[in-house]
Structure 1
Amino acid sequence: MVLLSDKRNASSSTIPDPFISARSNAPNRQAIALISDHGDPADIGREEAGGQNVYVRQVGEALAKLGWQVDMFTRKTRADDATIVQHSPHCRTIRLTAGPEEFIPRDRLFEFMPAFVEAFRVYQAEYHYPLIHTNYWMSAWVGLEVQKTHNVQLINTYHSLGAIKYQSVSNRPAIANTRLKVEQQILEQANCTVATSPQEQEALRTLVSSQGHIEVIPCGTDNKNFHVMPKSEARSQLEFRPDEKIVLYVGR
């Protein structure tokens, strides 16, 4: 991974010099955009960073290997973070300035999404992304706003559903109604919604909307980290006794 030192505001009218154009950087590749408003694909392990960050990063890098130029957009949360992080020759994370350059809890982040849209439009005007893959409901809102003014194909992955989350919450946050409305809009208006399991597809149909196109595409597994090995060796590495009972949960 190479961190580029250019820290100019991504919402300015000038694109950082090392990347004058995705087309000149990769003339034979079509540039596409992934948006992950709060889940920085270049940053794993910080507060509220986890499954979505990994998912978007891995999808982006896989698409680059398949021949795309992939630009992954997220919100800049620290002033000293690089504006652009280059992961591979054709896959990069671009951090946009939208509100204070500091961590903001997700339930208070939506008010800064209009600024995110405007910052993203600078890149859209330069690179003409024909396809945008949004992740999470706030990113979906960004995609819907961009689609109003640009001819783009819109794909969305929810990662979590307010329609499910709020069933077990006694006091809904103020943003709840907005989230539920956007979750319905994106399902009905996106060109495709990616559900990561049949159960998610069922929840979308029963709790969100009967309209819209859904494709079930399960999450993959990184075989470098997760692979078959002798049980005795696994127990030894985890410092479990040979006869010790273990309860394992795998999920996100």
Structure 2
Amino acid sequence: MRIDMVSEHASPLAALGEADAGGQNVHVAALARTLGSLGHEVRVYTRRDDPDAAERVPLSPGVSVVHVPAGPARPVPKDDLLPHMDELGRWMARDWRRHGRPDVVHAHFWMSGLAALGAARGSSVPLVQTFHALGTVKRRHQGCADTSPAARVELETRIAREVDLVVATCRDEVAELAAMGLDRAGVVVVPCGVDTRRFTPAGPRAAAARPRLLLVGRMVPRKGFDDAVRALAHLPGVELVVAGGPPRERLEQDPEAERLRTLARESGVADRLLLWGQVEHDAMPAVYRSADIVLAVPWYEPFGITPLEAAASGRPVVGAAVGGLLDSVQDGVTGTLVPPRDPEAIARAVAQLLDDPDRAEAMGRAARQRAVERFDWSTVAAQTFAAYQRVVAARHKGVSAPPATAPVGCEWLDAHVREVARAMESLCAQGDVLRRWGDHLATALSAGSRVLVAGNGGSAAEAQHLTAELVGRFREDRRPFSALALTAETSSLTAILNDYGPDEVFARQVEAHGRPGDVLVLLSTSGSSSNVLHAAKRARDLGLVVWGMTGPAPNPLAALCDAVVAVDAPSTAAVQEAHLMAVHGLCAVFDQALTRPARASDETATSPALATPGAAARR
């Protein structure tokens, strides 16, 4: 899919930590890179703020940043960029005429939405909008200090009504949009993400001689850094590190840094406040690991990257109970939520965790697990791509759907036969994969391993079909083998759904039944079902071999599997019918392999023979 993102002020190439460079830059860069790694072509349009910047700059495989000449080629505060959005949109439209239109446009921030609406006017290109922050919330908390354009709220309301879909980053944002009069049916929630391979509990850490609290982010008043400084006065022997703001050599001239230093002197904690200034992103994992507790105590927060990076690093968070933190911090499990702008509550929560290191460590472990399962960029990208598929399908349906009186029956069957023929051609080209799978299963199951299988809807039926053939028989009589369909045990399914949510319905069963060396087979026509992706990640963590049967690749599930059969077919029905043939083909190879001697020495039983390119590296 060709995906064009618009991020008018937040370039994925920008240095982080200064006034207008923060979480949105990280979000756009990471989402674009992840989608690019799945085989999509991604272009990020951002305003050129440097006369020497090249028009197009590669970011990662499949991803480029396009610098748009809209307004002066120098840094301009984002609140002053509104007059240049028409120009940005017109330039994008011309660029599409030169290089082709995208399949979908994803605008990040409200002014990007205006530019995207202008660029797409008169075309059939679907638009997705992520606001990252809403003017209604900013105005409520900042009042007369809000420097946003006066028309912001009115324009945000218009954007939300005119785009095809709004992707909100948290439940609190959905409530705000509903209060603005937007139909909740036009909104989906996809959280921000975190790179759980970069941010980990294990690895180098910055030195700390005493208990350390950590604040990360732009040095602006709404982040609540002053409340953390005031809390420090109630925590003797504890230091507070602030990583963010301008580079260290420019901190002396920064008004907010001077305000914090003055407050620290007045509070008697000047010797325990450490302003590190801007820290390179590559150095941040070691900074997080050096902290005992990470603080995220803003007045308001649309979502916030810091709590996710802390969680992935295995650190508990003391956070303000506002906005996105209500979703990213599980109170009492991965951290502690306190009222906003309450230094004494911050101090109490910190003191309780420092006094109970076992509890703090347990919170850190829970935070890490939750980050991997819910907020890893592979999951967030899959959910975002599902939103793209939704709007693209809706536009296609609206443009080309046949009239209600169009004949069905033989015409449909003829077309479907052609689709199935294409699907079977794709499947037959992957026969070697099925042969390797069958040989591996014969060796593994004969040695006492088991197969776990899962899928949704029609794929659930095919999951049970596969296990029935293995526990029963396919062609000739033979002994039964251990195979469990995770879709079939309705009591466990409904209990897990009720207690842990839909993402856990397969993953928790994998954790219960899976053992190192077992095989997990996941069927998904889209390759993007969230509960299937969670199961794949849990299985990889536990040492299972993970195989996938999907529709056309690349897709998120294929990226998580050790090996995949990806059926290239134009309809879900054709993919499912090819999957059934793949199940039968796998069983036929399995039965044949059982009759061969010395399976344990067969080279096909080794994992390298099963791995797709890059699978070993993913582990």
Q: Is the 8 A contact 2:129 2:165 kept in 1?
A: yes
Among 187, 209, 213, the residue aligned to 2:160: 187
* In 1: Cα distance, 2:148 partner to 2:61 partner: 42
**Structure 2 residue 142 is matched with structure 1 residue 175:** no
Partner SS, residue 176 of structure 1 = coil
Q: Is the 8 A contact 2:90 2:118 kept in 1?
A: no
**Structure 2 residue 7 is matched with structure 1 residue 36:** yes
Deviations 1:151-190 (A, max 9, x none): 111001101110100112332547222x112211222222
Structure 1 residue 147, shift from structure 2 partner: 2.8
**Structure 2 residue 52 is matched with structure 1 residue 80:** yes
Q: Which has the larger radius of gyration?
A: 2
* In 2: Cα distance, 1:197 partner to 1:146 partner: 28
Judged with a 3 Å threshold, the aligned counterparts in structure 2 of structure 1 residues 91 and 241 are, in CA distance, closer, same or farther, namely same
Judged with a 3 Å threshold, the aligned counterparts in structure 2 of structure 1 residues 238 and 199 are, in CA distance, closer, same or farther, namely farther
Q: Is the 8 A contact 2:36 2:62 kept in 1?
A: yes
Q: How does 1:97-112 map to 2 (within 5 A)?
A: 97-112=69-84
Count of matched residue pairs? 218
Judged with a 3 Å threshold, the aligned counterparts in structure 2 of structure 1 residues 64 and 84 are, in CA distance, closer, same or farther, namely same
Structure 1 residue 238, shift from structure 2 partner: 4.2
Q: Which runs of 5+ in 2 are unaligned?
A: 213-236, 239-291, 297-303, 306-619
Among 236, 248, 251, the residue aligned to 2:294: 248
Judged with a 3 Å threshold, the aligned counterparts in structure 2 of structure 1 residues 212 and 117 are, in CA distance, closer, same or farther, namely farther
* In 1: Cα distance, 2:117 partner to 2:211 partner: 54
* In 1: Cα distance, 2:49 partner to 2:10 partner: 10
State the structure with bigger RCO (CA 8 A, min sep 6), 1 or 2.
1
Judged with a 3 Å threshold, the aligned counterparts in structure 2 of structure 1 residues 219 and 173 are, in CA distance, closer, same or farther, namely closer
* In 2: Cα distance, 1:242 partner to 1:128 partner: 54
Q: Is the 8 A contact 1:42 1:85 kept in 2?
A: no
* Matched AA of 2:187: I
Partner SS, residue 248 of structure 1 = strand
Deviations 1:125-145 (A, max 9, x none): 122112100000000111121
Deviations 1:41-85 (A, max 9, x none): 122325511111111111111111122110100000010122211
* In 2: Cα distance, 1:141 partner to 1:75 partner: 14
Q: Is the 8 A contact 1:188 1:212 kept in 2?
A: no
Structure 1 residue 89, shift from structure 2 partner: 2.8
Q: Is the 8 A contact 2:8 2:112 kept in 1?
A: yes
* In 1: Cα distance, 2:183 partner to 2:147 partner: 26
> 1:67 maps to which residue?
39
Structure 1 residue 224, shift from structure 2 partner: 3.2
Q: Is the 8 A contact 1:163 1:208 kept in 2?
A: no
Partner SS, residue 129 of structure 2 = strand
Among 97, 107, 110, the residue aligned to 1:134: 107
> 2:432 maps to which residue?
none
* In 1: Cα distance, 2:148 partner to 2:63 partner: 36
* In 2: Cα distance, 1:208 partner to 1:170 partner: 22
Structure 1 residue 95, shift from structure 2 partner: 0.3
* In 2: Cα distance, 1:153 partner to 1:242 partner: 51
Q: How does 1:82-231 map to 2 (within 5 A)?
A: 82-125=54-97, 126-171=99-144, 172-173=146-147, 175-177=149-151, 179-207=152-180, 209-210=182-183, 213-229=186-202
Structure 1 residue 228, shift from structure 2 partner: 2.5
* In 2: Cα distance, 1:242 partner to 1:47 partner: 29
Root-mean-square deviation (CA, aligned residues, Å) is: 2.3
> 1:8 maps to which residue?
none
**Structure 2 residue 23 is matched with structure 1 residue 51:** yes
* Matched AA of 1:200: E
Structure 1 residue 229, shift from structure 2 partner: 3.8
Structure 1 residue 196, shift from structure 2 partner: 1.0
Provide the identity percentage. 27
* In 1: Cα distance, 2:21 partner to 2:31 partner: 16
* Matched AA of 1:239: A
Q: Is the 8 A contact 2:37 2:61 kept in 1?
A: no
Judged with a 3 Å threshold, the aligned counterparts in structure 2 of structure 1 residues 145 and 193 are, in CA distance, closer, same or farther, namely same
Comparing both structures, which one devotes a greater share of its residues to helix? 2
Calculate the TM-score normalised by the size of structure 1.
0.78
* In 2: Cα distance, 1:85 partner to 1:75 partner: 13
